[in-house]
Amino acid sequence: MVASTALLAAAPATSSTTLRWEQVVLQALERGRAQSPKAKQSRSRDRHAEILSAAVRVFARDGIARARIADIAAEAGVPLSSVYDYYDSKEDIAYAVPIAQTSEFVAEFHAKALKLEGADERLYLFMWLTVDFARRHQDWARTLYLEVWPSVMVNKTRVKDSLDDFGRIMYTLIQDGEQACLWPADPNRYQTVTIFIGSLSQMIITWLLYKRPRQLMKATAPLVQRLMGLLQTLTPSIDRRRAKN
């Protein structure tokens, strides 16, 4: 459900099979930096961070529709004019929240993935960390998964690039595993990425809404293992038709 918005453009920017996971990750980090408001002074950067942090809490508590910029300013303890120094509207702030924190997620994945050997270990980490990051940043997760990502307007906003980057990274990790002969060539990587992201998103959403499963990460491990197992069973549909004949 949540995954469908981001995946139409989820492939790497080029069809070349030489594009590796780290290149895609670094491109995603660069896009995240480019979309952040430029603040030359450390005081200005700190204030911007305070505003975003306050916005996450307000959106998680009240929802984007009910929240007001005045609420965000009050939560951050800054003048209302300070918020307008960075953002023109409440919607701009709402879409900046997932961009900033998603960049943090990608940076964390990059640092951890560099210590791993193969695409299988990196793909497992990427999926497991997706859920763990939501667990550790619940207000952000509520804003992203329950408010921003399901929005019909998301395709017209800057946040779409961040959501697409998430799909691109997973797509490339699957592709890297194929080239390393860790699993068969996937006849439809887009569909596989949709299944993976949809499964992880549903796990996160159910936990956010109902706190089920109670032990989120304990339940995440077998889910990720099952998703990884799907890669070993992929067979081009044309081969299946021939087998029936």
- The mean pLDDT value for 162-174 works out to 94
Structure tokens at 179: 């080239």
Quick: pLDDT tens for 31-67: 888 876 654 455 688 898 899 999 999 999 999 999 9
Q: Are 87 and 93 in contact (CB under 8 A)?
A: yes
Domains of the chain, each with CATH number or no CATH: 2-35+98-236 (1.10.357)
Q: What mean pLDDT is reported for the chain?
A: 85
Q: How far, in whole angstroms, is CA 36 from its chain's centroid?
A: 17
pTM of the model: 0.85
Of 1, 2, 49, nearest in space to 143 by CA: 2
Q: How far, in whole angstroms, is CA 40 from its chain's centroid?
A: 27
Secondary-structure breakdown of the chain: helix, strand, coil percentages, each rounded to the nearest 5: 75, 0, 25
Q: What is the C-alpha to C-alpha distance for residues 29 and 198, in angstroms, rounded to an integer?
A: 23
* pLDDT exceeds 90 at position 162: no
Quick: pLDDT tens for 4-24: 444 444 444 444 444 489 999
- Kind and range of the H or E element at 176? helix 159-179
Q: pLDDT tier at 236 (50, 70, 90 boundaries)?
A: low
Of 188, 189, 187, 213, nearest in space to 123 by CA: 189
Confidence at residue 38, expressed as pLDDT on a 0 to 100 scale:
54
* pLDDT exceeds 80 at position 160: yes
